[in-house]
Amino acid sequence: MGSLRPWNLFGRTLYIASTEGGALNSNLAIQLSQARARQQAQEASRFSSPFARNLAYLLWPFSAAWALLWIARWRYRDADRLRELESKPGGAILLDLLAWRVTAHLGPYQVPNFSKAKMHEEPLKILQDPVLLDHERMRALSRLGQLSQRRMAALSFSPPGKQQGSPLVAIEPLLFEAFYEDSASATKSPGTSSDTHRAAAAKIILDVVAACPSQDRAVPAWVLSGLVKAQGIPWQVGPQGEELRATLLLQLLRTPSNAAAVGSLPEVQQYLGDAGIKRKEDTAWPLKAYLMSGETHDLLRKGARLVTKQCPGAVESRTKRDRDTPTLQTKRDVRNFWTSILLTAGWASFQHWTAVFTAQAVLQLLAGIGSASAGAVVLEAIWTAEEHVIQTEWYWEGVYSTPASAAMTLVNCVALAWAARFACILPFAFSRLFKDDYMDAYRTFT
């Protein structure tokens, strides 16, 4: 009997028999190939469609993740047990994982346990120590930043040792680090570790101020003075740095006591009476220059009007001018969405590129890019909607969060199973793991 030579052609194994064996070898090769084909058909028939196959593959790991997070929420509802976890080997990594923004989309909400255990108190105590190593300070700022990204968690901040209090009073060490030194000492040289710390502190301050109602934003006068004179990151980073400063000042001036304090702060009066800026980012890409531009004239005018209500004649109001660009919040949201689409289109081009320059090949490439972009839009829309749900008070309270998280997990499985046919899964995962943190995609100013 002649030998059979296996050939794997396009996923199907064919056994080619030598012609020396006659018809018997040929029949044997045909029977083996048919058996192989029947086995592949039986395996494929287990799922009626690629969608059902993808859903079956995703449902088990997502269900396991949801169950583990449910166990973690039940186990660490004990505040003492949660606080002790950080001192154990690997405990800090587990806490980072539980407080991660992506984790909130995979199972029951973990951040309420952090709030009940007052996990913000220890970092605030550490930041009050004048002698700290860089990694100790950064670790404390990182933990506070994980909590302040969630609105309800930021509202639960209270001074150490107190059950309740103003969140802005609780983060006074951060206010001091971000603003007080700027008004009392020379500017530190850029690129030092202090710049990184102050940038992290500024992000936490922005989160807490945005979370607080306007009547709870009272701050000492030196905060307002230090804000208008602050230098370095993030206040002097591109045109939007100045717009970020003006936006934060306007949020603080919505509190009557802060607006009244401006009457004795000439540097703030001078800043509000300025004509403001209208500048675009220095780049060759028109859309990027538009989305990275900064305008402050309307913000300064609104701030001046708030001060004038409390201190008539303190600041001369400027003539109203229309903005050439949207608000800072809109520009950031559009830029984050546009960046995700660019990542998806680039990856889809790489996946569908055949190096063949024909009309049919170009149409197939455009169709692949279009379908991947559509899939990215659907995934981004679902993710944004889930973010809004997670930030609500009813989801924070925990009464309906468990069934809601299960429904959220199922929606994620269905959406990913549907989008798996397009080249958008990898860019979506990259955006969630890296891009969102780098670009502050979740920053809000409302």
328-345 pLDDT, tens digit per residue, is 889 999 999 999 999 999
Inform me whether the pLDDT recorded for 140 exceeds 70. Answer: yes
Q: Which of 142, 103, 102, 136 is nearest to 119 (CA)?
A: 142
Domain limits, the chain: 4-44, 233-325, 342-434
Token match 């303190």: residue?
Answer: 314
How far lies 324's CA from each of 72, 103, 275, 279, 384, in Å? 49, 39, 15, 10, 27
10-25 pLDDT, tens digit per residue, is 455 555 555 555 555 5
pTM, whole model, 2 decimals?
A: 0.80
Q: Which of 432, 385, 422 is nearest to 404 (CA)?
A: 385
Burial pattern 352-384, b for ≥16 Cβ within 10 A else e, equals beeeeeeeeeeeebeebbebbbebbebbbebbe
Say whether 234 sits in a helix, a strand or coil.
Answer: coil
* Range with lowest mean pLDDT among 95-104, 170-179, 382-391: 170-179
Say whether 255 sits in a helix, a strand or coil.
Answer: coil
What's the CA gap between 111 and 96, in Å, rounded?
11
Inform me whether the pLDDT recorded for 190 exceeds 60. Answer: no
| More reliable by pLDDT, 45 or 373 | 373
For 91-107, what is the mean pLDDT?
91
> Alpha helix (H) ranges present in 128-233?
134-148, 151-155, 167-170, 172-175, 181-184, 193-211, 221-229
14-59 pLDDT, tens digit per residue, is 555 555 555 555 676 667 667 666 666 655 554 446 888 889 899 9
Contact 14, 7 (CB under 8 A): yes
What's the CA gap between 149 and 140, in Å, rounded?
15
Q: How confident is the model at residue 376 (pLDDT cuts 50, 70, 90)?
A: very high
Residue 231 structure tokens: 């230098």
Token match 């995609």: residue?
Answer: 441
The pLDDT, as a whole number, for residue 187 is 42
302-333 pLDDT, tens digit per residue, is 998 998 988 887 788 777 888 888 888 899 99
Say whether 232 sits in a helix, a strand or coil.
Answer: coil
Inform me whether the pLDDT recorded for 189 exceeds 70. Answer: no
Residue 243 structure tokens: 């717009």
Inform me whether the pLDDT recorded for 183 exceeds 50. Answer: no
378-413 pLDDT, tens digit per residue, is 999 999 999 999 999 999 987 788 999 999 999 999
The pLDDT, as a whole number, for residue 351 is 87
How far lies 4's CA from each of 14, 39, 352, in Å? 9, 19, 37
pLDDT above 90 covers a percentage of the chain that reads 32
Across the chain, mean pLDDT equals: 83
The pLDDT, as a whole number, for residue 42 is 58
Q: Which long-range contacts (CB under 8 A, 24 or more apart) does 54-63 make?
A: 54/416, 54/417, 54/418, 54/420, 54/421, 55/413, 55/414, 55/417, 57/417, 58/413, 58/416, 58/417, 59/413, 62/106, 62/409, 62/412, 62/413, 63/409
The pLDDT, as a whole number, for residue 12 is 55
Q: Which of 306, 289, 174 is nearest to 239 (CA)?
A: 289
Q: Which long-range contacts (CB under 8 A, 24 or more apart) does 406-410 make?
A: 406/66, 408/105, 409/62, 409/63, 409/65, 409/66, 409/105, 409/106, 409/107
Q: Which of 234, 256, 260, 257 is nearest to 247 (CA)?
A: 234
End-to-end CA distance of the chain: 81
Q: How far is CA 104 from the centre of its chain?
A: 12
Contact 10, 21 (CB under 8 A): no
Q: Which of 261, 262, 280 is nearest to 272 (CA)?
A: 262
Residue 131 DSSP symbol? S
